[in-house]
Amino acid sequence: MLSLKYKRMLKDRTILITGGGSGIGEALATILSAENKVIINGRNEEKLKKASAAGKHISYYVADLSKPDEIDGLFKRLKADNIVVDVLINNAGVTEPYYIDKKVMTSSQIFEKINTNLSGAIATTQQFIAQADRAASNLIVNISSAIVVFPAPSQLLYFSSKSGLHAFTRLLRYQLKDTNFKVVEVLPQGVDTEMSRGLGFTGKAPLPSTYARKVIRSINKGKIEHAFAGITPARLFNALIPNATLRLVDKMSQKLFKHQ
């Protein structure tokens, strides 16, 4: 195993943040731009422009990570601009309530959501590794969700794809254990973002900036997972009585979200 010091991993780096136009991604970009070169990505250029204006070291590239060609195109543009990224934060994500027997989505819509949350992150990670300087220390941060521990039936596609990202992160960390790549997972729970408000979230939650600072501190301390304090008993509860967990979380989610 390589002996590498990852203290202050998020300083003097070139960082790519997907889904950086709003929410946690935007907050991370703003804070990290004080000590790093930050590149944000998304499909809404107006949001990216606004987010990039928050820091002099933030630039942006428009690309839809649910589309394979646009992922490839993003990294071709980075290469053409002589940019080598050494930190990747896979933050892009989409969700909406979905009961498969009550709401009909087109196949294209289903693929778009799964690709954004999972396939796009995997493809982006592969491109990141391919362009990285393997002699230097590199960091991959996958932002999954606390939903992988608390499966919410109303978030069928989101849970399925984020659970896939959680599994991918664990296996990726194992595959890269003897390399200069460190893999971190972040499992947000109840952050006050545009996405959660769009779902009709009515609970109390920290601001993205508050949460982002906690994530940065955790990574700089060398932790490979940033999650809520009760994640260990929650995992045990879910493993021992999974059906009870489903019922409980379903009731809780229907109280927290105004519409289903």
User: DSSP labels for 113-146?
Assistant: HHIIIIIHHHHHHHHHHHHS-TTS-EEEEEE--G
**Structural domain boundaries enclosing 198:** 14-256
- Give the total number of structural domains in the chain: 1
Q: Evaluate the CA torsion angle 28, 33, 37, 41 in order and state its sign.
A: positive
> Could you tell me how many helices (H) and strands (E) the chain has, helices first?
10, 7
Rounded distance, CA 125 to CA 40, Å? 15
pLDDT in tens, 9-24: 899 999 999 999 999 9
Rounded distance, CA 21 to CA 36, Å? 17
Is residue 248 in a domain? Answer: yes
* CB 226, CB 175: distance < 8 Å: no
pLDDT in tens, 198-214: 444 555 667 899 999 99
Is residue 9 in a domain? Answer: no
Is residue 122 in a domain? Answer: yes
Is residue 8 in a domain? Answer: no
Q: Residues of 13-29 as b/e, b for ≥16 C-beta within 10 angstroms?
A: bebbbbbbbbbbbbbbb
How many other CB atoms are there within 10 angstroms of residue 191's CB atom? 20
Backbone angles phi, psi at 131, to 5 degrees: -90, -10
Choose from 132-141, 226-235, 239-248 the range with maximum mean pLDDT: 132-141
Q: What CATH number did the domain enclosing 127 receive?
A: 3.40.50.720
Concatenating the DSSP letter of every residue in 17-57 gives: EETTTSHHHHHHHHHHTTTSEEEEEES-HHHHHHHHTT-TT
Residue 249, Cβ density class (10 Å: 0-12 exposed, 13-18 middle, ≥19 buried): buried
For residue 153, the model assigns a pLDDT of 79
Choose from 96-105, 147-156, 191-200, 238-247 the range with maximum mean pLDDT: 96-105
Is residue 3 in a domain? Answer: no
- The DSSP code for 201 is B
For residue 191, the model assigns a pLDDT of 78
pLDDT in tens, 111-127: 999 999 999 999 999 99
* Among the listed residues 215, 77, 234, the one whose alpha carbon sits nearest the alpha carbon of residue 147: 234
Is residue 91 in a domain? Answer: yes
Rounded distance, CA 232 to CA 43, Å? 36
Rounded distance, CA 251 to CA 254, Å? 5
Q: Is the pLDDT of residue 219 over 70?
A: yes
Is residue 104 in a domain? Answer: yes
Q: What average pLDDT does the structure give for the chain?
A: 86
User: pTM of the prediction?
Assistant: 0.85
Q: Evaluate the CA torsion angle 125, 94, 238, 205 in order and state its sign.
A: positive
Is residue 154 in a domain? Answer: yes
